[in-house]
Structure 1
Amino acid sequence: MNSMENQTDILLLEGLKVSPQSSIPAFILLLLIYIFIMVSNLSLVILITMERSLHQPMYLLFCNMSINDAFGATTIIPRLLSDVFIPTTERYISYIDCAIQAFCGHVHASATHTVLMIMAFDRYVAICNPLRYTTIMTNRMVVKLSLSAWVVALIMVVFLVGLSVRLSRCRWIIFNPFCDNASLFKLSCESVLINNIYGLGYTVVLLGSSLGSITLTYLRIAIVCLSSKNKVLNSRALQTCATHLAVYIIMFVSGSIIIILHRFPDLSDERKLASIMFHVVPPAMNAVIYGLQIKAVREKLFIMFTKNTVTVTEVK
């Protein structure tokens, strides 16, 4: 039994399935995407932190999204990059590293939902209760909402991954580009009924609460906008809501594709590609969508670039 356990402490990770000819283009593409995700998201966080005029609830809550996107991309992409040039038969990972990657990946996915929910609440108060906005959305409230988004995600994932880690292992191959909860419990020959029940409950609660709260929030906002005669208010509300909804739809669609493809074993390669896309596309899109839609951020970027251009020309 001990020898079996020792053997399964080192796992074989399938990683990114690419042909030797396409390994260099795949590496370069992934590396460029990763650099873009990190630079765009961290730049926005630094900009919002340093610029006092952006110390408003909407922007401060948005920092959660950027931090989560950078965290999610770092959980998955560096490992994929390091394995691109290693043959599939030699891509080893320790069980502990695999469990950590699964935990971080699920925290990122869960926090994406919870963070978008608190951002929807902020927009709801701003548009539906503008006179009380400053008294409701205080700095204390922003901190409480941010903490709740992260704590809820952490607690849910601790139980999710904990139920898989407790199982004994009889297999040692991860048939996935990276480690996730499903690949952890599939290593066991024990009954995984509890894992499946909790996993289903976790998915239903997370997707149901985020979809439900965001649908209700935006229906309420739409009603307020339709009944209001203030065109300036309506255009501003529609702009911020359209931004928020675009981010949510990208995240929801990319996440739903993975869940749907899980039901079709023949499409395992497509599912694996979709699972990578979930950790790559939304983080790359979110900073662009928010950064370019938020007028204050656009203005700051414009000032930064024009300052640099002026400085360069003066040096010349």
Structure 2
Amino acid sequence: MTNIETIDKPLAGRIALVAGATRGAGRGVAQALGDAGATVWCTGRSTRQHRSEYDRAETIEDTADLINNAGGTAVARQVDHTDEAQVRDLVAQIEREHGRLDIAVTSLGGENEQGLWDKPIWEQDSAVGRGMLRGILESHLLTATHALGLLHRTTGGLHITLTDGDAAYNDTHYRINAYFDTIKTALTRLAFSFGHELAQHGGTAVALSPGWLRSEMMLDIFGVQEDNWRDAWTQTPTGETAPEDFAISESPLFLGRCVVALAADPERSRWNQRSSTSEVLAAEYGVNDLDGSRPRAWSFITALEKEPKPDVVDYR
């Protein structure tokens, strides 16, 4: 096991693209890559001049500023990853400025509606369903079409698809509805497909899932910030009180640190075509969250299916 936290700037000199770096998991990964020395291209639709229809305050410029202000190097670029011309132009610009791409991370589609929870396909709005397919699955494929066209030329190139749940979990659990279930199963399969195609070029593809992510939206719901998230069980400004399970939540930077550890591993090809979680990678590489803990969200979630009910304290 390699403890990545003992290595200073392990990704210095590498060029990374984080597609969907505006907030949440994408922002956490972009920030960690920048902290580790990579030059990070941060893309998304929300800028200071134009919010997406999601209408959140976070922007790609904010993400880039987090990296640059910490002494790293980041570029913010507005891109709609469902628009092929914009994706093509983005990759062409990266090639012009750097001549290569070492790491590509796709964190796309989290803003899309999830459809009706636990309702059969005939009760779903097909327009919403098609929007999910386009905004999530198609955007991942479209981005990979162009990004891997550049990345595969770099021996040791790494592609990471961020998703929700690994293959072992998604293959045995129904995920919300037929559209969502199909998408989540497909995203883990992309790592298998991309990995098959990258292997002959010395590249690696992995699907990676966080646990219960303490995203900006989640913090807002409970009226707390990252530095006081444990206050979510008290009376908060929003009036919402977090469930006990929130104790196994993890910061976006925890996932980002796991991505850095994977990217810095000279033997990362052993992960090729696999799907995994932040929990698994953290144990493998000795990664801790901001508070020094190592949350095990997916182990806790699966333990809930058994009796007796697990103690959340044992999973952090």
TM range (shorter): under 0.3
Whichever of the two has the greater Rg, that structure is: 1
Give 1 or 2: higher helix fraction: 1
Give 1 or 2: higher strand fraction: 2
Structure with the bigger RCO (C-alpha within 8 Å, sep 6+) is 1
TM-score norm. by structure 1 comes to 0.27
